[in-house]
Structure 1
């Protein structure tokens, strides 16, 4: 983009021209040759994003910790070797708590902002972790996990909202995609903590109490530091607090430059989109059924989280020890090492792959991911079947299954780890974003309940044959992505509305011209 065009775009914004046809983000971006990490305000802003992202880290810690505990003889002996629905209840303990939190979270996000729910949920998580570590019986352990689930959901829902609504415009896509990748950071910590504490002694309950207590560490950091972040400028504008929103944008996006064209551009674009959305619709859940665009959004925010949980990854996340048992890897230290190695591997590739969301696009990543998962799952199923027929005597077949698990995780992380939270947050308008994310969580919760009870029972009953179900599910997912997932890359958080709302995105008089302008610029 030439300097002449940049100066013209900046002048148009300063003159107060508010028609979308006159706007172009590239025209008003500061012409600073220094990379973002050498600009103090952007470096501090991006580092601050770690605080809300720790909600994802806590989730990852929980899944990996429960995997590790199930491989511990100390934990198994203490709680009477739970199996079937009894084991499923522990896996679903956090889900029960999340169900109780579902009606509360969107109200908190819409009426108190994005930061307070993170603070409240994290405080409850700390309490739950303490009770979990102090559990004296099965019932107390289950109750503590319900508290963890309740607080966890309250902290999780506003976290990606704050990231996507506060991030610098050109960093938003990648940073939001990184959010769910930090799930693996928590998983790595839990995997190797449980591996280390396993060797504390065959009857030492601290071998599982220490990992349980450490689950409260990341939430404690959020309690201490979340109020060092500013409130979401989009939430502030939604509440009519324009001056506060402008101060946030000036400080964190413009480095203190009060006359920044970028700030003027963002203020006008966000305000116009929110006002138009509020004029054309309300803010209740019923709005998702009133227009074709909102019905499409509703379909996606139900399907995307379901895909995140029902693509076979639930087996690895919570019941890896059952998979390893089924292929003859029954040694607790061996299982713990495999779990720890898988988490380190997944974290590395997920961070790398999330960096390509703007280059490859969301839809393409979803497609490659689902096709790759289905192919690796088919091979995984075949190798497991042959391995069982040969009474687990052929170690190469077991190694082949483990290889397929790693390859499956590669494709899962490509499309169903980082991109989903980014995709859901950007397809929702600001005034419906909190409720939309709540619907996303409800969809995920329903699938997690299924996973929690069906997976351990089915794995014990039919072993590898259960994998065929997931092969079929993945085939359906490929079809859904191909026909119903639109591409959203290259647009601001507000401009994505054009894909779903067409001429009504910014009002009847502007949107057609805006779309034409975007096409010419592309």
Structure 2
């Protein structure tokens, strides 16, 4: 029995999302590695700047890897670029696992980051280009879900090894070595994925694009009305884009493209300013500051990673129903509220007070924050930017927005140790304020994209005023949009007037795959 089309595309998206496991694993493992006694002896430093750079050198590598990823993806294909990224990450993993000093550790972190940066561009890019309009949010949100899986696996492996061999090299070398496992299938098996039909179209391989669309969305039926509608829409849009400048200048000379890139950069910066990476990277410091032992702090972090996974699952299930705009606004308001409470509680401990109950309260609000972040903010930082660009600039523009993610993450990783050393609990005030300012920014600037096709995003943004509350844009039904594509496919392929095409679909004269 053939796999239903939407399940097949979901499985393809999940394979690509294994790249996110590498990033999530790194997020989850580094807080355990930093406190392992043998690791501290091996790198031979307790300087805050060095510790910060061990964390953030991975993010610097990710920043550097974003542009090469887009170039390889545009020239050689999305699949080829994913394979290259997997190989680069394995090199970084080997260097980290075998590190004998801080210089080798820096190099390993940088190369691992290079691979992660490439996959941060490639996985959402590929996922968005193979998805149905009605399921695009769900497919792209799997990136954050697999990131969460990686963090959970890392946390429990590192925590378990540190319980059994706390002072041995295996306490940090085994967790770092294990991170290479998901990169192996990315390196060796990516060729089994169907190629992006939009990449095939921009390369002039129109028949291959049709076959791939049929494989993804209609069990191989190239006469499916929806597939034909997608194909004709894609062909028309690529033909239109072929008349324009295809260089980097297309991003900066076109006001609509520039606006969309700025939105992507704003969104990625805003994610880091909610405090997520500061808490994740320095979990031991955070929880020890409110009265917990190091061992308990690491256990709390491992449990919080499980909590985050439930939030990410909620996003996958609901994002194509509730959209992008409302979760971004509501999630950031809740994040700001949680950090306001956490700041007040942390202050009590910093001033020499603080009770066991207040410490538990601090942990509780961070758990609520992490769930809200994982359900509303983190996944959408990958969903929204990649879906608003047109095919001509999607690879390059996604690279630019991802660079914003990595450089802001680098900043947080680098400054957090000194911030806690110098201003302590007051550091949380930054995340409190930013949660509310983020929500206001999304309310004013960010239009809803749920249900719209990738090919219509240009016209949608041109027609939508930058002050979104005053734009009065009517919501779109994803199912209605897919039916419109099917009608258009029949009209173009068989020369039917639009009304006749609609009647033919309703009457069952032409096959049209059903939504799952």
Taking structure 2 as the reference length, the TM-score comes to 0.87
Rounded Cα–Cα distance in structure 2 between residues aligned with 1:397 and 1:239: 60
Superposition pairs of residues 320-335 of structure 1, within 5 angstroms: 320-331=283-294, 333-335=295-297
Q: Could you list the per-position Cα deviations for residues 152-204 of structure 1 after superposition, in whole angstroms to 9, with x for gaps in the alignment?
A: 22233111111111123432221112222211100000000001111333431
Rounded Cα–Cα distance in structure 1 between residues aligned with 2:447 and 2:360: 38
The Cα of 1:110 is off from its aligned counterpart by 0.9
Q: Could you list the per-position Cα deviations for residues 426-478 of structure 1 after superposition, in whole angstroms to 9, with x for gaps in the alignment?
A: 11001110111111122112212211221111011111011112222223212
Residues 1:217 and 2:181 aligned together: yes
Deviates more, 1:166-175 or 1:156-165: 166-175
Residues 1:299 and 2:299 aligned together: no
Aligned length: 472
What residue number does 1:316 align with?
Answer: 279
Residues 1:236 and 2:196 aligned together: no
The Cα of 1:330 is off from its aligned counterpart by 2.8
Residues 1:422 and 2:386 aligned together: no
What residue number does 2:497 align with?
Answer: none
The Cα of 1:353 is off from its aligned counterpart by 2.6
Rounded Cα–Cα distance in structure 2 between residues aligned with 1:466 and 1:415: 23
What residue number does 1:511 align with?
Answer: none
The Cα of 1:144 is off from its aligned counterpart by 0.8
Superposition pairs of residues 220-299 of structure 1, within 5 angstroms: 220-279=184-243, 281-299=244-262
* Structure 2 SS opposite 1:216: coil
* From 101, 112, 117, the counterpart of 1:148: 112
Q: Could you list the per-position Cα deviations for residues 363-419 of structure 1 after superposition, in whole angstroms to 9, with x for gaps in the alignment?
A: 101110111111111001001112322444x11111111111101112212321112
* Structure 2 SS opposite 1:217: coil
Query: Is the 1:93–1:145 contact (alpha carbons within 8 Å) kept by the matching residues of 2?
Result: yes
* Structure 1 SS opposite 2:242: helix
* From 24, 46, 68, the counterpart of 1:104: 68
* From 409, 427, 431, the counterpart of 2:370: 409
Superposition pairs of residues 115-194 of structure 1, within 5 angstroms: 115-194=79-158
Q: Could you list the per-position Cα deviations for residues 237-273 of structure 1 after superposition, in whole angstroms to 9, with x for gaps in the alignment?
A: 0111101111111222111223211121010111112
Residues 1:371 and 2:333 aligned together: yes
* Structure 1 SS opposite 2:367: helix
Root mean square deviation, CA, Å: 2.3
Rounded Cα–Cα distance in structure 1 between residues aligned with 2:60 and 2:261: 24
* From 23, 26, 44, the counterpart of 1:59: 23
* Structure 2 SS opposite 1:487: coil
Superposition pairs of residues 314-463 of structure 1, within 5 angstroms: 314-331=277-294, 333-392=295-354, 394-463=355-424
* Structure 2 SS opposite 1:496: helix
Residues 1:467 and 2:428 aligned together: yes
Query: Is the 2:66–2:121 contact (alpha carbons within 8 Å) kept by the matching residues of 1?
Result: no
What residue number does 2:484 align with?
Answer: none
Question: Aligned pair in 2 of structure 1 residues 41, 445: CA closer, same or farther (>3 Å)?
Answer: closer
Task: Give the gaps of 5 or more residues in structure 2.
Answer: 465-473, 482-516
Rounded Cα–Cα distance in structure 2 between residues aligned with 1:74 and 1:82: 13
Rounded Cα–Cα distance in structure 2 between residues aligned with 1:517 and 1:98: 35
Rounded Cα–Cα distance in structure 1 between residues aligned with 2:234 and 2:188: 30
Rounded Cα–Cα distance in structure 2 between residues aligned with 1:385 and 1:415: 28
Rounded Cα–Cα distance in structure 2 between residues aligned with 1:285 and 1:301: 16
